Amino acid sequence: MYQTSPSSDEYWTSKTRWYSAVLDVDNVATILGLQGSTMRQYVARSQLEGFPEPLARGRSNGWSLDQVFQFIDQYKPQLRHLIPRLYCLPGPMNPAVFLRGEEIVIDDRLTPVRFGVHFWQPSDRRGEVAVAYPESLDEPGWRFTADLLAHKALERATAVILVTNEIQMTPQHEWQASIAVLERHDVALPPNTTRHPIGDPSRPKVVIPELGWYDLANLLRTDVPWWPPALRDIAQVIRWRPGTPRQHIRIQDRSYNEAMLRDVASHCPPAHSEAAINLADRINRIVEDRWYSAYMESPSLPVGERCERPGLIQAAEARFLIPVPPTPSYEELAWLLHLEVDDALVADKAIGVLDASGACESLIASAVVIDDQSGPLAKRWLAAAKPVKAADRSQLGYAFARMNAAGYGPIDAWLAHPQDENTWIVVTKSGTAVATVGTAVPANGRLVEFELGSYGGFFKDSSDQVWPLPFPKSGGYSSGHEGTGPADLVSTVVALRRDAASDIVTVTRPPNYRSLPLWRYVVRTSTPFHVSQSDFASLVDSSTPQESSPN
């Protein structure tokens, strides 16, 4: 752990916004409650006792907030409430005293949000402040600040500081974490301070100002701990104390923790439990490595920070169970998806991890929807599907089909397809079928006919078998316009024209695809459409173009 307390105030103050000449005469007048013309007269004639000389002169005069706050403190005590809590008046500043850590829960729609809150007592004797670390969120969290300030457990805090996953610049043009700061009354802030309205933008319930990490560090004058969002184990956050060794924490966020996949082992046939837990740990490790590798510099510090420094310490680092293993084979992943899981909620959580990570995209990249509006190939393929035994309905793969069928009503049937055992199909009471599709299918020969529907497509191979069009994990197929969707469709069709069993993860875009008759047809034709075998030859030359540039 890095621990230091620089003796120079300049280190701390230089990283804050209070000492730059950002206020013109009108800004100063607004803070002091004066008319701009009156303020100009006072400045020109030196009629305002104790008011400082401009920090910057030029075409217009400029003052810093520090100058104005010192003036208020000495000459306008009735305006002291305008001095922000994160600003500290001149004088000796010692490291803040850490008071306690506490867990706070805020209700939020269906899922409560947990916060680890640290209470600090700065040495300026203006009252304690609360620093709230939310569990991993998929948003900055501005909207929670007002609820935190109103929480009974925080009633003694003069200000609530919410740590966000956003970043901003310091005055030295270095990156720092952004913080939301809510006080119990309005305060004066730099004119360029970003503010976040909460509620209706035209009539916001509250407006949250955004400040920077080193504004907080300047007040506390000590090393402030940072947890990256996916390492915010709230129990560990509230147990932290100054001097605590760096914590080793398992990666987790609101959509992932190791138990989501490991729990499958407790809800599958006992004979498969050991193999299931082993495979779950391997997939979890790959998922965690992708998360950890997503950060450009230090994954355990705010984006843009390369190392610890005074005012910022790394409180935790990721703990991994095993080294990064080889990617599980297609056969292993298929075995996992065929595993019977006796708890639908456990299956849903596990399939959520597999879907978000892309670990099983070769088998379940997306889903295709078949309904009354679907084309002849889709209906022919579905007609060949057969009902499964009751026990097979709990296979993990059906959780993926069920997830994608959520908007189509209750499920009435579970089907399997004789051509491909690694396809899971559910049919709703409305008659809509939803089938899983990966990035490749075990087709033969080459594509000779295809169609595109609103949600996926189908093709026929040269052995007269019909298959779902392999689906890209990101994006999808579309037509009737120029863009990525039509280009992906053309690339896939051209690749399957060469080899119907191609994995489209490896497909690259033909360099001359825009000159193909197939491209012109796709961009001019609205979905749905069907290209018969007799029409297909005129759209794609028998000599398939060479592939070069990636999708």
Q: Which pair of tokens denotes residue 152? A: 């009974």
In a domain, 179, yes or no: yes
Last residue of a domain, one of 437, 460, 495: 437
Does residue 345 share a domain with residue 329? no
Does residue 204 share a domain with residue 102? yes
Q: What is the pLDDT of residue 541?
A: 57
- 544 pLDDT exceeds 50? no
In a domain, 195, yes or no: yes
Q: What is the pLDDT of residue 300?
A: 84
Q: What is the pLDDT of residue 492?
A: 95
Give the pLDDT band of residue 549 (cuts 50, 70, 90). very low
CA distances (Å), origin 401, targets 345, 351, 363, 418: 14, 10, 12, 17
In a domain, 167, yes or no: yes
Does residue 19 share a domain with residue 104? no
Does residue 200 share a domain with residue 218? yes
Does residue 470 share a domain with residue 458? yes
Q: What is the pLDDT of residue 277?
A: 97
Q: What is the pLDDT of residue 324?
A: 86
Determine if residue 535 is left, alpha or beta; phi over 0 gives left, psi from -120 to 50 gives alpha, anything else beta. alpha
Calculate mean pLDDT across residues 67-71. 96
Does residue 273 share a domain with residue 215? no
Does residue 491 share a domain with residue 460? yes
Does residue 268 share a domain with residue 189? no
Domain that holds residue 194: 97-236
Q: Is 79 helix (H, G, I), strand (E, B) or coil?
A: helix
**Residue 358: closest CA among 335, 321, 333:** 333
In a domain, 90, yes or no: no
DSSP H helical segments within 452-527, as ranges?
A: 484-498, 517-524
Calculate mean pLDDT across residues 360-365. 94
DSSP secondary-structure letter at 488?
H
What confidence tens digit (pLDDT) does each residue in 108-133 have? 877 899 999 999 999 999 999 999 99
Q: How confident is the prediction for the chain on average, in pLDDT?
A: 91
Does residue 217 share a domain with residue 102? yes
From the number of C-beta atoms within 10 Å of its C-beta (0-12, 13-18, 19+), residue 455 rates as buried
Lowest mean pLDDT, pick from 57-61, 403-407, 422-426: 57-61
What confidence tens digit (pLDDT) does each residue in 464-489 have? 999 999 987 667 899 999 999 999 99
Last residue of a domain, one of 41, 56, 82: 82
In a domain, 242, yes or no: no
The answer to whether the pTM exceeds 0.85 is: no
In a domain, 442, yes or no: no
- 242 pLDDT exceeds 90? yes
DSSP string, 248-284: EE---BTTB-HHHHHGGGGSS-GGGHHHHHHHHHHHH
Dihedral (Cα; 220, 223, 229, 230), 10-degree rounding: -150
In a domain, 122, yes or no: yes
Greater pLDDT, 299 or 181: 181
Greater pLDDT, 512 or 221: 221
For the chain, percent of residues with pLDDT exceeding 70: 95
What confidence tens digit (pLDDT) does each residue in 12-47 have? 999 999 999 999 999 999 999 999 899 888 888 888
- 443 pLDDT exceeds 90? yes
CATH number of the domain within which 31 lies: 1.10.1660
Does residue 105 share a domain with residue 229? yes
Greater pLDDT, 422 or 359: 422
Last residue of a domain, one of 408, 437, 466: 437
Does residue 229 share a domain with residue 110? yes
In a domain, 241, yes or no: no
Does residue 256 share a domain with residue 231? no
Q: Is 50 helix (H, G, I), strand (E, B) or coil?
A: coil
Distance CA 442, CA 501 (A): 5
- 280 pLDDT exceeds 90? yes
The total number of structural domains that make up the chain? 5
Q: What is the pLDDT of residue 6?
A: 60
Greater pLDDT, 41 or 199: 41
